């Protein structure tokens, strides 16, 4: 099945990997969102559990093993072309996770891996999906008043 113009939504996973006050982000090397920072993750392969897919994707993209903590959210990413047709459609299962290591190395699908302070992460050029998830996460953990939400 092609990822562009799919006949139905594609199931995917993403990891919200947090260490102290930092979050793990990757710079995407391919579409969608090429050149944008994003949570590590990807498509669930046939026969894989959601957890297996998450661990594999994070390892492939960052070189890190992870411990999955719990489900954070389930969301969608839909991108339409200039004619209004659905070019990409992913249903993304986001888990909170902890890194087993600290040393990162970019995999073949990404051009950069970095630990970014949570207070700075929203200043990066983020994919739409990652910006939405990180904005909610920052608001959740900082428990800020509604007036000062980011």
Q: Looking at residue 29, which CATH number applies to its domain? A: 3.90.79.10
CA dihedral 121, 10, 47, 130 (to 10 degrees): 0
Beta strands in 29-131 (DSSP E): 37-38, 41-43, 66-80, 86-99, 110-117
Does some domain include residue 2? no
Which of 17-21, 95-99, 122-126 has the lowest average pLDDT? 17-21
Does some domain include residue 3? no
pLDDT over 90 for what percent of the chain? 78
Q: Which of 61, 128, 68 is nearest to 100 (CA)?
A: 68
Does some domain include residue 109? yes
Does some domain include residue 134? yes
Question: How many Å apart are CA 101 and CA 92, to the nearest integer?
Answer: 25
Which residues span the domain enclosing 76? Answer: 10-148
Q: What pLDDT was estimated at residue 104?
A: 84
Instruction: Identify whether the C-beta of residue 14 lies closer than 8 Å to the C-beta of residue 133.
Output: yes
Count up the domains in the chain and report the number: 1
Does some domain include residue 45? yes
Q: What is the pLDDT of residues 22-67, one digit of tens each?
A: 999 999 988 888 999 999 999 999 999 999 999 999 999 999 999 9
C-beta atoms surrounding 136 within 10 Å: 16
Does some domain include residue 52? yes
Does some domain include residue 60? yes
Does some domain include residue 92? yes
The pTM (predicted TM-score) of the whole model is 0.88
Q: What is the pLDDT of residues 75-102, one digit of tens each?
A: 999 999 999 999 999 999 999 999 998 7
């Amino acid at each position: 099945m092609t990822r562009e113009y799919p006949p139905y939504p594609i199931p995917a996973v993403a990891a919200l990997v947090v260490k102290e006050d930092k979050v793990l982000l990757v710079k995407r090397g391919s579409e969608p969102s090429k050149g944008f920072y994003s949570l590590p993750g990807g498509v669930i392969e046939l026969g894989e559990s959601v957890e297996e897919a998450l661990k594999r994707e994070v390892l492939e993209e960052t070189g890190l093993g992870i411990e999955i903590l719990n489900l954070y959210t389930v969301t969608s990413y839909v991108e339409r072309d200039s004619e209004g047709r659905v070019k990409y459609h992913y249903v993304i299962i986001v888990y909170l996770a902890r890194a087993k290591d600290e040393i990162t190395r970019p995999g073949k699908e990404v051009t950069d891996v970095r630990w970014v302070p949570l207070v700075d992460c929203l200043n990066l050029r983020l994919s739409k999906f990652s910006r939405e998830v990180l904005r909610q996460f920052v608001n959740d953990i900082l428990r800020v008043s509604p007036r000062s939400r980011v």
